Chains A and B, each alone.
Chain A
């Protein structure tokens, strides 16, 4: 039997890993939740934006030879643009169409993007070569007994926290954030109040996609494995996180992401690592069945 100290340090290490993963899920989940808030559509293609972010950063750094931080910023911009284009091409023409049509389009886009990536980059797993990354990433920053916190993890956590704060401030303190909140409550009334609904929706897509892309870069760094189907699974998990926190609620997505990340790492460590993905599916199904409004979200009824 392992000593109590070993057990607790294992637990703490898992916790740290879980929080890091949770932060990543939160980043992706926020994108889902914001889009659902404004247009009531589950953007299935969001997972693919995450994957493309990872691939773009990899291509810029490892293939083109750009230094890391400029590549990081450039990828964020490209992902934001990609999100806006996605909305413009696929979702905007179907604003007035029945829900089923929009859902099918979203799935179609997701599949298209995934296979596009498969075509362009092939199915081999890509990793960053050691040299191109800033050296300090792989070093351990803080060590307490057997628990280590690497600089990479600190980078991920701090960037995640920073952008969450920026997002929160944007939504609650700026005009466009107020517009986003207005549209999520009543689109028609917002339009009548003079809000450029389409522009705000594009902006929402831009931010959500940028954050999703950032999550992709971070995960690509953390696990050092990039492949075209990574968006598929991460997308579903992030959606589970968004639902867990309450779809439509940004703090809910952050909370849900954290909880899900910790649950997944703990579950994989203590219960079974084969059903690692299954844990997310099970959590998602459970939340949807028992409390569809999530931890924080509000229940919406239909007007007859």
Chain B
């Protein structure tokens, strides 16, 4: 039985504030793991790092044997920054001195301009591969973009649209130039992709939240985030988004594939609603649901993404005793179905009943971990959280 989620020494700081310090955590498939801790202990921040909404300051996250975030060595960062600055300076020196003054006007032909755009696209795309994964690659790309824009503009000031190899009427160039740029970008997209595959290993990278969802990690939120102006069923259908395949073309042409998919989505959506007990409210606006029902809807939406791991952020908040019991049963059913659950909860009854293993957070650090019974007895936990000597459940 392998590990589904592996977190090693995760740290996150916001400016001067250290929210998480060296968290190490593991979740096995079909396991229910709990996280408890006082408010402000960093639990939701932890979830946000897992979903890749935040970029960890340090540490590693590995989900389903795929790294979500790995640290970047500082020497590599420095090297990249230095080369970026060198590129920039070269670019700026080269342009005004050389292009505008020393070359004869006949040099500035439209086709050469387009060619220049193609070549610059390669450089752009080489960096673009980093973009998806590493936040500071943005800076690099902007530097290149700035330099390239300057090149393009200066070239344009010397460019006379009638100066071409081919004889076409003047206005067409104005339309042709952006097409040339677009063709260059698309044309070199694959080359750029190939070149950047290895680059990924060199630098660290971060996955985007939507990719994380597609990989199989879904979550709910502490303050419920539903799509309130849509119907209950629509909310769940949106959860199916990552598992469907109809794109722009198929939608516009209303192909059989798309129509079949829509029918299937409707059925599947109702099934998930049935699972949480909201089937009869399928066509009501999400706005109109009661608080407990809204929480269940959020869980249904998360489940419809077919996750391997479900992150629940305080699902029992604001629930009475009966609702909590239903929730416990629901989470057990989810585990039966094959999904692991990582759950943050303050309600001790829920937690002790559900969790196979518990981690305890306090001020951003892990102060204890173990089975529910072990944690209950642990003195540090009692002092920090449960209140010395009080009966728990």
Given A289-B142, A304-B53, list of 6 further CB < 8 A pairs?
Answer: A290-B142, A290-B146, A301-B14, A304-B44, A304-B48, A304-B221
Tell me the complex Cα distance, A289–B221, Å.
31
Q: B20-55 interface mask toward A, CB cutoff 8 Å, 1 = contact, 0 = none?
A: 000000000000000000000000100010000100
A304 to B44, CA, bound (A): 9
Which residues of chain B have a CB within 8 Å of any CB of chain A?
A: 14, 44, 48, 53, 142, 146, 221
Q: In residues 262-301 of chain A, which contact B (Cβ within 8 Å)?
A: 289-290, 301
In Å, the complex CA distance between A289 and B143 comes to 12
Q: A289 to chain B: which residues have CB within 8 Å? A: 142
Nearest Cβ on chain B to A189's Cβ, whole angstroms: 15
The complex places the Cα of A179 from the Cα of B32 at a distance, in Å, of 47
| 8 contacting pairs across A/B (C-beta < 8 A) | A289-B142, A290-B142, A290-B146, A301-B14, A304-B44, A304-B48, A304-B53, A304-B221
Within A200-221, the residues touching B (CB, 8 Å) are: none
Question: How many chain A residues touch the partner (CB < 8 A)?
Answer: 4
Name the distance in Å between A203's Cβ and chain B's nearest Cβ.
30
CB distance from A1 to the nearest CB of B (A): 16
List the B side residues contacting A304 at CB < 8 Å: 44, 48, 53, 221
A8-B146 Cα distance, complex, nearest whole Å:
30
In the complex, which residue of chain B has the Cβ closest to the Cβ of A289?
B142
How far is the CB of B85 from the nearest CB of chain A, in Å? 15
Q: CA A304 – CA B14 in complex, angstroms?
A: 14
Report how far A290 CA is from B140 CA in the complex, Å. 11
- Minimum C-beta distance from B363 to chain A (A): 19
Inside 8 A of B48's CB, which chain A residues have their CB? 304
* A271 to B: closest C-beta gap in Å: 9
Docked Cα-Cα span, A304 to B223, in Å, equals 9
Which residues of B sit under 8 angstroms from A290, Cβ to Cβ? 142, 146
How far apart are the CA atoms of A289 and B146 in the complex, in Å?
10
Bound state CA distance, A301 and B14, in angstroms? 10
Residues on A with beta carbons closer than 8 Å to the beta carbon of B221? 304
Nearest-Cβ distance from residue B244 to partner chain A, whole angstroms: 26
Q: Quote the shortest CB–CB distance from A152 to chain B (angstroms).
A: 36
Say how far B143's CB is from chain A's closest CB, in angstroms. Answer: 9
Which residue from chain B places its CB closest to the CB of A271 in the assembled complex? Answer: B157
Give chain B nearest CB distance to A87 CB in angstroms.
28
Name the residue among A290, A301, A304 with the largest chain B CB count within 10 angstroms: A304
Give the CA-CA distance A127 to B44 in the complex, in Å.
62
> Which residues from chain B contact A301 at a C-beta distance below 8 Å?
14
Tell me the nearest residue of chain B to A302, going by C-beta.
B53
Chain A residue at smallest Cβ distance from B15? A298
A290–B148 CA distance with the chains assembled, in angstroms = 14
**Distance to closest chain B CB from A285 (angstroms):** 11
For the complex, what is the distance from the CA of A159 to the CA of B14, rounded to whole Å? 41
Measured between beta carbons, the chain A residues less than 8 angstroms from B146 are 290
Query: Which residues does chain A contribute within 8 Å of B14, judged by CB atoms?
Result: 301
Most buried by B among A289, A290, A301: A290
**Ranked 5 nearest A-B pairs via Cβ:** A290-B142, A304-B48, A304-B53, A290-B146, A304-B44
Considering the chains assembled together, what is the distance between the CA atoms of A137 and B15 in angstroms?
51
| Smallest Cβ-Cβ distance to B313: which chain A residue | A304
* Docked complex Cα distance between A290 and B149 (Å): 13
Closest residue of A by beta carbon distance from B138:
A290
B124 to chain A, nearest CB (A): 14
Bound state CA distance, A141 and B228, in angstroms? 65
Q: How far is the CA of A304 from the CA of B221 in the complex (A)?
A: 8
Per-residue B-contact encoding for A239-270, CB less than 8 Å = 1, 0 else: 00000000000000000000000000000000
Complex Cα distance, B302 from A169, in Å, reads 52
Q: Which residue of A lies closest to B223 (CB)?
A: A304
The complex places the Cα of A290 from the Cα of B221 at a distance, in Å, of 32
CB B386 to nearest CB in A, in angstroms, measures: 27
Residues on the A chain within 8 Å of B142, using CB: 289-290
CB-CB under 8 A from B53, the residues of chain A are: 304
Q: Which residue of chain A has the shortest Cβ distance to B44 in the bound complex? A: A304
Interchain CA distance A14-B142 in the complex, whole Å: 31
> What distance in Å separates the Cβ of A289 from its nearest Cβ neighbour in chain B?
8
Which residue of chain A has its CB nearest to the CB of B53? A304
Least CB distance, A293 to chain B, in whole angstroms: 13
A301 CB, min distance to chain B CBs, angstroms: 8
Within 8 A of B (CB), among A227-244: none
Chain B residue nearest in CB terms to A298: B15
Which residue of the partner chain A has the closest CB to B153?
A282
Shortest A159–chain B CB gap in Å is 37
Shortest beta-carbon distance from B172 to chain A in Å: 24
The distance in angstroms between the C-alpha atoms of A304 and B53, with both chains bound, is 8
| Shortest beta-carbon distance from A262 to chain B in Å | 20
CA A290 to CA B14, docked complex, whole Å = 22
What's the least CB distance linking B13 to chain A, in Å?
13
Least Cβ distance of A165 to chain B in Å?
Answer: 30
**A34 and B221 alpha carbons, distance in the complex (Å):** 33
Measured CB to CB, the nearest residue on chain B to A291 is B142
Alpha-carbon gap, A301 to B12, bound state (A) = 14
**With the chains together, A143 CA to B203 CA distance in Å?**
60
Complex Cα–Cα for A301 and B53 (A): 11
C-alpha spacing A132/B53, complex, angstroms: 62
In chain A between 109 and 157, which residues have their CB closer than 8 angstroms to a CB of chain B?
A: none
State the CA gap A289–B142 with chains docked (Å). Answer: 9
Minimum CB–CB distance from A286 to chain B (whole Å) comes to 8
Tell me the complex Cα distance, A8–B161, Å: 35
In chain A, positions 157-197 with a C-beta closer than 8 Å to chain B are none
